[in-house]
Amino acid sequence: MKNVEIESKLPNMIGPGTKIIGNIETNGDIRIDGNIEGNINSKGKVVVGNNGFVKGEIICNNAEISGSLNGKMSVTELLSLKASSKVNGDIKSGKLSIEPGALFSGTCSMGNNSPVNPLVNRDEKK
């Protein structure tokens, strides 16, 4: 027999005033308005609200950051840094959206995982 996981339509929520120390894994979406010290691995969307704080690594398909992140992020599709966000760490993302006012300190690589070499002449492919 196969194991069948029941997908919940309700997102996971970590409310204001809640602090979790440990790693979180979810197949669905998660919203953080409290404090997380640990890694988050989600097959869905991770939202860090205005008062949310994450210290650790986030791995997910999509992310929207309005609060604070101190750690690495690996986002398969779209990462959106809102105007109130404060991100300190390295980012890997398919697409990146940064609103004016967002604070970001770290390195960023986008698109495919192969490094882009600006010294290669693109006109050589004839």
Place 11 in a pLDDT band, splitting at 50, 70 and 90: confident
Give the predicted TM-score (pTM) of the model. 0.81
pLDDT for the residue 8: 55
Place 122 in a pLDDT band, splitting at 50, 70 and 90: very low
Is the four-CA dihedral 72, 7, 94, 97 of positive or negative sign?
Answer: negative
pLDDT tens, position by position, 17-74:
999 999 999 999 999 999 999 999 999 999 999 999 999 999 999 999 999 999 999 9
Place of tokens 């970590």: 14
